[in-house]
A and B are shown apart, each in its own frame.
Chain A
Amino acid sequence: MSEHVSTYEPKTGFTRWLDTRLPIVRFGADLMSFPTPRNLNYWYTFGGILAFCLGVQIVTGIILAMHYDASGTGAFLSVERGIMRDVNYGWLIRGLHANGASMFFLAVYLHILRGMYYGSYKAPREVLWLLGCVIYVLMMATAFMGYVLPWGQMSFWGAKVITSLFGAFPIIGGPLTQLLWGGFSVDSPTLNRFFSLHYLLPFVIAAVVALHVWALHVPGNNNPTGVNVKSKTDTLPFHPYYTIKDLFAILVFVILFAVIVFYIPDAFEKVDNNIEANPLVTPAHIVPEWYLLPFYAILRAIPDKLTGVLGLAGALGVLFALPWLDTNKVRSMRYRPAARIFFFVWIFFSLVLGWCGSQEPQGTVIPGLPVGPTIIDYGPNSVTWLSRIATLYYFAYFLVITPILSRTEKTLPVPDSLYTPVLSHGVAMPVGAAAAPETKG
């Protein structure tokens, strides 16, 4: 909260001296004592989990870079033979890094959904939300380039397909893709620049994360009721209450992570990526990583190349615009029954898009039924038509449903204080809590 007054008092001569020169200890102490709404649930632990994920990716990534050879002839060998077989614990470090990307995206999606459900993007947290969207886009770019580095078949053809998207732009498309490739196709120069950028971007992400946290500490946390913090009784100091809660959540997350790394390390890996990149042969079935599938489905749903690329970009763009599309003053969907339903349907269609992205465009949706007469390239019972319907809902949710609903929805009564619903849960009150209602504003 902006009115959070620093309670730090340097105790020794040195800390007093330092405090007037670089108040870094005060900075840390203020973060720790930051008043945080007392009703944050487990969905609010994903911020801490994401910081943990970024740390894991950076540490393991720096190590992998020590053993990696970013050349068309050496990359596959340095990963599959050097790192996976010869480097001490190389298999573990790569397992953490490769699966860490999936864990990172799992956490970021839950974090975004939490923000959408509780209206965390609304005033005064629009900048916080925008910075989050920037991080998400940077994460996708980083993950995509990282996926290219092992230089397997999926790496190569993924890179080829995604970079070719830029060829959709009229006139500049051709020269632009050559510029990206540094050649006439994806090749060693492409791999080298992707490696360079893949190493750079996480530090850019870390910088934007710092801004994101800063932007969080100006208005303070939103909370599941969406009601503003009104008095000190509404909050608890971040430490020890939320440090311990976040740590517990991180550990539960790490258990899932460890099960994947040690027992199903190839759960997210396409078998074709264990074949070295071959520019002359495309794998039979080419799909991106699971966390990009919904966007891939939107791209394929649109029958025109340029419009498809714009649709893909627009699917991200609407996220940025969300604070201005939803103008309802009530933040939390706890008190917006209609919005909640449309939101869950949106999650459902996003998952449908993910499924569509993993399927062949001409595949049938309902097995046993004919695909039907061809309308715009595909029959109604095809994956493509399902993804068209889902794409339509995806955009309608942001551009039509949310703006209209935010003006017309009859919302449920919102509690006066974020602490009221807490009391109604019947939680035992500490001594002195009975006095709390008096201080409410």
Chain B
Amino acid sequence: MHRFSLAAAAIAAMFAMAGASLPGAALAETTQAPLKDVHWAFDYPLGMYDQAQLQRGYKVYHEVCSACHSMGMVAFRNLADKGGPFFNASYPNSNDNPVVKALAKDAQYDAIDSETGAPIKRPGTTADYFPSPFPNTTAARAANNGALPPDMSLLAAAREGGAHYIYSIVTGDGTTPPPGLTVPDGKYYDPYIPGDLSSFWTGDPKKVPLGGFIAMPPPLIDDRVTFDDGTKATLNQEAWDVAAFLKWASDPKMDERKQLGVEVLIFLLIFTGLLYASYRTIWRNVGH
């Protein structure tokens, strides 16, 4: 029995080391308020994306976020892929899906006229990746007070806490700073951004506020968008939906992965059971 517990301890140690290396845990200076306690189905091992929520999230992204943030790894066709916001089983080829065809047509892309060679604009197709709001990162910085709005393709995967972090950041942005905290021009106080506010704090040095400053103005307010499914567009609802959409954008194969995982594990358990029975049969009555 102790052999198995040793093996289990080794595996536990492996995870512990992997887990212990999470940044934030050891950073003495950087602080951050605990992320808000929100939940999505996809937090759980077998939970999938909620398509209606992804559609609402796309609307928030499209009408609000995309004004400054690019999402260069997601193409219009991806929106109609299995597990995506506009997936429709009647269009197994996502490029035929009329919803995303229409969405793509509204976007404009640089092109070269095939006769004259002159630069022209053409409407987008399902194969096009989401257009970038700025021609390059320098222009993006220049238009945003020196701060670069990060590309959102992998944002939920590139931040500790994922969708929870995004939800907390978006709803915490523009929190009224506690008296004694000097907020620099063009910045906003956000308790959920990892930061070190001690040099901006004139109060008790033992009670430096948690969090940091963010260059993004508070992006969402109640009724910033109008949801097509009649859901009331409160700030929290918008943040909840857009965080889910960004999670989908960073991990579009999650539904497929979790589904296949169930099948693979059921198979493995059956196979392992049979193999164990064979193993015991072969070793039956063999001294060892």
Contact = CB atoms under 8 A, between A and B. Distances in A.
Nearest to B263: A262
Nearest to B253: A91
Interface string A281-317: 0011101001001000000000000000000000000
A355 B264 CA distance: 33
A248 B272 contact: yes
Contacts of B224: none
B288 A268 contact: no
Contacts of A247: 275, 279
Interface string B269-288: 10110011011001101111
Contact of B282 (A84, A109, A244, A362): A244
Interface string A9-30: 0000000000000000000000
A429 B26 contact: no
A102 B73 CA distance: 27
A429 to B, nearest CB: 6
Given A251-B272, A251-B275, A84 B14 contact: no
Contact of B257 (A91, A259, A290): A91
Contacts of B118: none
Interface stretch (B17-25, B184-192, B214-222): B17-25
Interface in B222-272: 250, 252-253, 256-258, 260-261, 264-265, 268-269, 271-272
Contacts of A359: 20, 25-26
B122 interface: no
A360 B29 CA distance: 11
Contacts of B253: 84-85, 91
Contact of A290 (B18, B28, B261): B18
B21 A290 contact: yes
B18 A38 contact: no
Contacts of A430: 285-287
Interface stretch (A57-65, A123-131, A270-278, A394-402): A270-278
A255 B268 contact: yes
A144 interface: no
Interface stretch (A66-74, A326-334, A420-428): A420-428
Given A262-B264, A263-B258, A266-B157, A422 B18 contact: no
A270 B24 CA distance: 12
Contact of A258 (B157, B252, B264): B264
Interface in A337-366: 351, 354-355, 357-360, 362-363
Contact of B17 (A42, A91, A293): A293
A263 to B, nearest CB: 5
Residue among B26, B150, B160 facing the most chain A CB atoms (10 A cut-off):
B26
A414 interface: no
B287 A427 contact: yes
A272 B22 CA distance: 10
Interface in B22-66: 23-28, 30, 45
Range of interface residues on B (Cβ < 8 Å): 35 or more
Given A85-B78, A359-B26, A109 B260 contact: no
B257 A245 contact: no
B14 A106 contact: yes
B275 A285 contact: no
Residue among A261, A262, A272, A428 facing the most chain B CB atoms (10 A cut-off):
A262
B154 interface: yes
Interface string A235-264: 010001100110110011011101101110
A285 B28 CA distance: 11
A262 B154 contact: no
Contacts of B154: 80, 274-275
Nearest to B257: A262
A41 interface: yes
Interface residues of A, number: 68
A241 B283 contact: yes
B20 A355 contact: yes
Contacts of A283: 23
Nearest to A269: B157
A433 B160 CA distance: 61
A95 B269 CA distance: 21
B23 A284 contact: yes
Interface string A348-392: 000100110111101100000000000000000001000000000
Nearest to A153: B158
Contacts of B261: 258-259, 261-263
B272 A427 contact: no
Interface stretch (B5-13, B171-179, B197-205): B5-13
A285 B257 CA distance: 30
Contacts of A244: 275, 278-279, 282-283
Nearest to B24: A285
Contact of A284 (B15, B30, B158, B275): B30
A167 interface: no
B3 interface: yes
Contact of A354 (B17, B194, B279): B17
B271 A263 contact: no
Residue among B18, B20, B261, B268 facing the most chain A CB atoms (10 A cut-off):
B18
B158 A241 contact: no
B285 A358 contact: no
B23 A80 contact: no
A171 interface: no
A270 B159 CA distance: 9
A267 interface: yes
Interface string B78-108: 1000000000000000000000000000000
A259 B21 contact: no
Contacts of A84: 253
Nearest to B3: A42
B125 interface: no
A77 interface: yes
B70 interface: no
A81 interface: yes
Contact of B73 (A81, A240, A287): A81
Nearest to A350: B13
B126 interface: no
23 contacts: A81-B73, A84-B253, A92-B260, A95-B257, A102-B18, A241-B286, A244-B275, A245-B279, A248-B276, A251-B272, A261-B261, A266-B157, A271-B157, A272-B23, A274-B157, A284-B27, A293-B21, A351-B13, A359-B25, A363-B26, A422-B287, A422-B288, A427-B288
Instruction: Return the 10 tightest CB-CB contacts between A and B, nearest first.
Output: A262-B261, A285-B23, A358-B21, A274-B158, A290-B17, A360-B26, A274-B157, A358-B20, A81-B73, A274-B154
